[in-house]
Structure 1
Amino acid sequence: MTDTRPRLIDLSHTIEAGMITYKGLPAPLICDHLSREASWANYDPGTEFQIGRIEMVGNTGTYLDSPFHRYADGEDLSEVGLERVAGLPGLVVRAQGLQAVDADRFAGLDLRGKAVLVHTGWARHWRTDAYFEDHPFLTEAAAAFLVEAGAALVGVDSHNIDDTRTRVRPVHTRLLGAGIPICEHMRGLELLPDEGFRFTAAPPKVKAFGTFPVRAFAEVG
């Protein structure tokens, strides 16, 4: 029997104890809340369970920014509807070799209602010092173009969608101000076709929270 299900491509990094996603933010602490050995006291012989504990900031691993991340009155994670982060038609924009990805990279493309994923190739530096330095980013003009073109979500496989050498964040400001979620620190975009796939990056429904890790993935075929 032929398997007609779409092929799933994982686009997210694995979260590990001690992992640094963004310099200056604490690494996640992952440990047992209840170890298997400790659970023996609660069950009959041969039955055991583990309950894990994780302490981390929202900006860990591959994560989604909601408008609340930038704006006090913006939608938090619990208010962003699934239709805005799940099953979106996807489009990959190739930008390897560029540091500043400008509006011209998106010109002539049908972006309306789509998850626009910017493939810079920077994910190859993940978990190295090079990941944090001179990373690719979008320009303010590119963000304005994406808003005007009606993009539904914007993702990037880089350290930040903004240029972190300055203290302003125009791309976050424009995209989140228009209600467009941002997915940062992606991976695996080289595995995707330029279009013809569905994209999902759904975070948990956390009230009064603007950012949280996601299991980002694409459905191809």
Structure 2
Amino acid sequence: MRTIDLSHTIKDGMPVFPGTETPSIENVFTHEMHGFQEHRLTLFSHVGTHVDAPAHMIKGALTLDQMSTDRFIGPGVCINCTAKNSQNPTITIDDLIPYESEISESDFVILNSGWYKNWGKNEYFTHYPALTPEAARWLVDFDLKGVGVDVISIDSAELSGYEIHNILLEQNILAIENLNSLHLLPEDGFIFSCLPLKYDQADGSPVRAIAIY
């Protein structure tokens, strides 16, 4: 069994969604002074590579801690969206249809736009590839557990509101954002895992997303 790490490292000064704060990682106890090392972590629930719960957008909906662990792992398919760019950022039904048979056999759809290569740059936050509402509604007709993207949000930065979030989360389909290194995913399928922290009323959580093959 082999694994591929699809996560960004959480650290001080890392890119975060505009309006939130970067994590603070404080070395509180040290080997030199205390004989052991321990850090204090201060961070938002949607920092770095993370998963969105339905409760992130929908009042009274499921939180991550209410969901069984099997909701966060299953067969995945990676859809090549690297032809998309800032001039042509929309991911349409036509881009998804060639993968229809693979999607029907998968729990997770991972959209590889290649945008993760802009991590740490200003352009990461704007004009990134994103699903159209029609494409998102087409995906919810499949029995999916989640849709993953290598961008800051599953919704376009250029459109107001959170329509794509709501289309997916209303059907209890998780949104996994800020994935990394998607070019390493095998074409012949893999098991995707995005287990979150189990904290009370979890609207979202950083994850160590991996592919197993």
TM-score (norm 1): 0.89
The residue that corresponds to 1:150 in the other structure is 143
Q: CA deviation at 1:194?
A: 2.5
Q: CA deviation at 1:135?
A: 1.0
Give the structure with higher Rg (CA): 1
Q: After superposition, give the CA deviation of every residue in 1:93-123 in whole Å (9 maximum; x if it has no partner).
A: 1011321111222215132442100000000
Q: After superposition, give the CA deviation of every residue in 1:134-187 in whole Å (9 maximum; x if it has no partner).
A: 111111111101101222210011121111222211110010000011110001
Structure 1: gaps of 5 or more residues: 1-5, 40-47
Report 1:109-120 matches (<5 A): 109-110=100-101, 111-112=103-104, 113-120=106-113
Separation of aligned partners in 2, 1:195 and 1:71: 35
The residue that corresponds to 1:44 in the other structure is none
Q: CA deviation at 1:84?
A: 1.1
Report 1:89-128 matches (<5 A): 89-98=75-84, 99-108=89-98, 109-110=100-101, 111-112=103-104, 113-128=106-121
Write the letter of the residue equivalent to 1:157: D
Q: Is 2:7 the counterpart of 1:12?
A: yes
The residue that corresponds to 1:64 in the other structure is 51
Change (3 A) 1:73 1:195: farther
Q: How many residues align?
A: 206
Q: CA deviation at 1:20?
A: 2.3
Write the letter of the residue equivalent to 2:107: K
Separation of aligned partners in 1, 2:121 and 2:184: 22
Report 1:35-184 matches (<5 A): 35-39=30-34, 48-86=35-73, 88-98=74-84, 99-108=89-98, 109-110=100-101, 111-112=103-104, 113-184=106-177
Checking the alignment, whether the CA contact within 8 Å between 1:90 and 1:195 is kept in structure 2 is no
Write the letter of the residue equivalent to 1:117: I
Structure 2: gaps of 5 or more residues: none
Separation of aligned partners in 2, 1:180 and 1:145: 13
Percent identical pairs in the alignment equals 32
Runs of 4+ in 1 over 3 A off after TM superposition: none
Q: CA deviation at 1:38?
A: 3.0
Q: CA deviation at 1:18?
A: 1.8
Checking the alignment, whether the CA contact within 8 Å between 1:84 and 1:152 is kept in structure 2 is yes
For residue 207 of structure 2, the aligned residue among 209, 214, 217 is 214
Checking the alignment, whether the CA contact within 8 Å between 1:29 and 1:54 is kept in structure 2 is yes
Q: Matched residue of 1:107: which SS?
A: helix
Q: Matched residue of 1:148: which SS?
A: coil
